[in-house]
Structure 1
Amino acid sequence: MVAFLLWLLLLVFCWPLALLALVLYPIVWLLVLPFRLVGITVTAVFSFLGAMLMLPARVLRGRPA
C-alpha cells in the first residue's frame, strides 16, 4: 500500500518518471528472477547440508547414556 501511495506521489510530481518506472518494473523483475531462484536454491542446499551435519549429534543426543 505504501509503495502504491509513493508511486501516486511520483505520478503527481514527475509523471514521465512514474510512467517509466511502471514500464520498466516488469522487465527488471524478469531480469532479477534467475538470481532470486539461485538464492533460494543455495539457501536450500546449505540448510540441507547443515541438517545432514547435525544429524549425528541429534541421534547421539537422543540415545540414553
Structure 2
Amino acid sequence: MLSFLIWIIVFILCWPLALLALVLYPIVWLLLLPFRLIGITVDAVFELLRAILFLPARIFGAKPR
C-alpha cells in the first residue's frame, strides 16, 4: 500500500514536469540548431585544412595508418 501511495505522489508531482519538457524540447532544439550548424562548419574547415596539409605527403606516396 505504501508503494502505491508513493507512486501516486510521484505521478502527481512529475506530470507537470513531463508536460513542460514536452513543450520546451522543440524550442530548445530550435535555439541550439545554429550552434550545431556552426560546429559542423568548423569541423568541415578543419578537415579541409588537414587534407590540404597532408596532400603533399599523399602525392609522394606516404600511406595513412
Q: Shorter-chain-normalised TM-score: which range?
A: 0.7 to 0.9
Distance in 2 between residues matched to 1:35 and 1:11, nearest whole Å: 35
Alignment map for 1:3-42 (pairs within 5 Å): 14-42=14-42
Aligned length: 53
- Residue 60 of structure 1, CA deviation: 1.1
Distance in 1 between residues matched to 2:11 and 2:49, nearest whole Å: 48
Q: Percent identity?
A: 70
Unaligned runs of 5+ residues in structure 2 are 1-9
Structure with more relative contact order (C-alpha pairs < 8 Å, separation 6 or more):
1
Unaligned runs of 5+ residues in structure 1 are 1-9
> When the two structures are superposed, what TM-score results if normalisation uses the length of structure 1?
0.74
- Residue 13 of structure 1, CA deviation: 5.9
> When the two structures are superposed, what TM-score results if normalisation uses the length of structure 2?
0.74
What whole-Å deviation, never above 9, does each CA across 1:25-49 have from its counterpart, x for those lacking one?
A: 0000000000000000000000000
Larger Rg: 2
